[in-house]
Chains A and B, each alone.
Chain A
Amino acid sequence: MNDEPLILAFCCHYCAYAAADLAGSMRLQYPDNVRVLRLPCTGKLEANYVLAAFERGVDGVIVAGCLEGGCHFLEGNLRARKRVERVRQLLAEIGLEPERLEMFNLSSAEGPRFAEIVTAMVERVKRMGNSPLRPDRARAEEGALEMSRQAEAMLEGEKR
């Protein structure tokens, strides 16, 4: 049985997603516990996306947006930070550790920082232990994949 934590990263297309790509191009090593979900901007993030991830058994969630002041849509990342804070409060009410959710800011040139963020988050979740809501790793993995597919379909829909 795979007991490794599963982390879902909601990544902005203009920064963190490109940084993740760069980390790969640079052959940087980081834990393979993370699954990347692409958003057009972290301002697209809704509270129910994060809750859906936790409900499907994901152990931790990263929200990664542009550097403050550098949002492609001016202030999407600032709005996302406020939403993340509200969801953290909601997680506490639910009875799940708010530290399982964290927002980070980085630029598309920061491949090494993406690797650092993932490493730090995986270590944090390992210290806390896996989510008590996780059915089993395979089902949580399926849930994360399904959410990622839905996000990509949404992006495709917006292009049309």
Chain B
Amino acid sequence: MNFLVLGLSYKTAPVELRERLNFASDDPGSVLRAMTDLPGMTEAMILSTCNRVEVYAASKDIPLGCARLQRYMAAYHGLDENQVKPHLYVHCGRDAIHHLFRVASSLDSMILGEPQILGQLKEAYNQAESSCTAGPVFNRLMPKAFAAAKRVRNETAIAQHAVSVSYAAVELARKIFGELTDKNVMIVGAGKMCELAARHLTGQQVGEVLVTNRTLARAQALAEQFDGRAVPFAEFPLYLSRADIVLTSTAAGGLLVTRAQLEEVIRQRKNRPMFLIDIAVPRNIDPDANQIDNVYLYDIDDLNGVIETNLRERRKAAKKAEDIIEQEIDRFYSWLRSLEATPMIVALRQQVEEIRRSETEKTLHGLRHLDAGDRRAVEALTRSIVNKLLHSPLSVLKRAGDDITGEIYLEAVRRLFDLNPDPQKSGTDAVEEGADTKQDSIS
């Protein structure tokens, strides 16, 4: 397989270099075509994200292809080749496939298991297809990479459970409330951090959204953004009993809600549970409130603890994912081999049938006294001999594709019968040569 990948990622290159090498040009098609125009290069695809810039390619001459590609990349971005070179990694053959599968499965991502990379890879492949720079190598490899990624996602916990504060908050809310559709959310304060968390929460189709802030104008602006209602800061405790989820992030606000206050609120709510997310430092809600029945209070450290556990689970899952990828690569190779077995089987059949037909014709030509029925019997006899003889070798060849030793049989048949299923070589030569060999062996 003349497949190679050349590129750099957050692991090998600083962001300054990555952004300079980014291929976010208006016409990726022309870049791709320029790459396949390089000598020996047959296929090309560019994966350019904020964490990596990689060129996947098929080339007839790997060392030459790499050298040209790397020069092209530097030149295209107006950089000196030596500036880029130390940050580049190059893989070819099985290593390149391994790299591709790992990237697709998000095992090489900065945030392990993040889901975007697969989409970005699919887009890159579509771009290569529409620019006509994807050929048989990519067309065989890419679907297998996507399938491997899907398997990793389904069979491991690599992409499960939140690894950011805002998603963790949503996930915990779901553990408490199940569906969030009729749950009211109250947002106290309007810090940057809060905004992100609030956006995730309110993006879940929640009930009413209440926003409060020391400056009413800011609260109103936020309320508009989240399709909610602004509440004056002085009055927000009165609204607490309506809120199922409360998100506080008032910087320098100090303690805004006391335990006693919340006990009263829970009573008013007839014990319906409340989820309080306090991401302010110093905290806005009395930490003791967590001891109230049906109140679940998480501060920023608690959320980070949850995220840390989830990350640990993802790292554990990554080990299993690596095994899956090895399996998928093995499977890919055996599939490739099976593809090669089919033309071999066809060629062998053709050759033998050709010999049988011509030899039978020759013999029958000399036996003119036979009537039509006898001739048919002779035909049938030769046919059944051929089929019986071929039965076992053909079934071995058919299985050769899934076997690690399969290639040996393919090679043996190729040599023994002097077969070359490559359509470029003329088939007749092979047949005649084959006929000679057969006669030799008979005499």
Binding partners A and B:
no
Interface residues, chain B, with chain A CB atoms under 8 Å away: none
